[in-house]
Amino acid sequence: MIVITNPFFIEDEIQMLNSLFEEGLSLLHIRKPDFSALEMAQFINQIKLEFRNKVVLHNHHYLAEDFGVDRFHFSEKERKQNSDFPIRFSKPCKSNSTSTHSIQDFNSLENEFDYAFLSPIFKSISKENYHPKIDLFEALKSKTNNKTKAIALGGINAENIQKTLENGFDDVALLGSIWNNENPLEQFKLCQKIVHSYLQ
């Protein structure tokens, strides 16, 4: 199960992120589009050293080496604007991921991507008026790219995680269901329990 940071400021965020890691969070995507390089460096620096190998950077990728980070995410825009992708971004890394919004886009990915977000699956919790235009569960039946794991994103919560995994997704990514909850840690533990019980 993947957690994506809230793009905006969260009170006691670093403390909460370290707590999520301590509870078994496997991957944290740091998506802070408005962060300067300095702000990003300061943010990563506060994450405990033993958890840095579970961090995925969405931007300021060049900072990764200084902080022991070796996982990178590339937006759909980055991927499509660079014809020489991913050579231009190549660096020693454990995994590359990207974002997609249609099964056609997902199927066209090159083998360089270990997993890709496919979204939105449900009406978004964190983005207003962001909802699926087509049934991505139905679309997933047309998946031909079996080298890239399909990660469901968008409106994922404790009530629909099992349905999402049962319909063919390899894993889920959480954003709004964690950060819009009064108790993010307890919500994470609940969602993690559902994922673990399904995948066992």
Token pair, residue 94, equals: 């454990």
> 71 exposed, middle or buried (CB, 10 Å; 0-12, 13-18, 19+)?
buried
Domains with residue ranges and CATH for the chain: 2-199 (3.20.20.70)
Note whether 3 and 33 are within 8 A (CB): no
pLDDT single digits (tens) 137-182:
999 999 999 999 999 999 999 999 999 999 999 999 999 999 999 9
The span from the CA of 168 to the CA of 110, in Å, is 20
pTM, to two decimals? 0.93
Element (H, E) at 106: helix 103-107
User: Which is nearest to 135 in space by CA: 103, 176, 90, 175?
Assistant: 103
pLDDT of res. 91? 56
pLDDT digits (tens, 9 = 90+) for 11-24: 899 999 999 999 99
Q: Are 121 and 130 in contact (CB under 8 A)?
A: no
Write out the two tokens for 166.
Answer: 């049962």
Orientation angle between helical segments 184-199 and 13-22, nearest 10 degrees: 30
pLDDT in tens, the chain (200 residues): 999 999 998 989 999 999 999 999 999 999 999 999 999 999 999 999 999 999 999 999 999 989 999 999 999 998 888 755 555 455 567 889 999 999 999 999 988 899 999 999 998 887 777 778 889 999 999 999 999 999 999 999 999 999 999 999 999 999 999 999 999 999 999 999 999 998 77
Using alpha carbons, select from 157, 160, 158, 199 the residue that is nearest to residue 175: 157
The pLDDT of residue 80: 84
Residue 66 C-alpha from the chain's centroid: 22
Contact of 178 with 7, CB cutoff 8 Å: no
* DSSP assignments along 63-91, one per residue: GGGGGT--EEEE-HHHHHH-TTTTGGG--
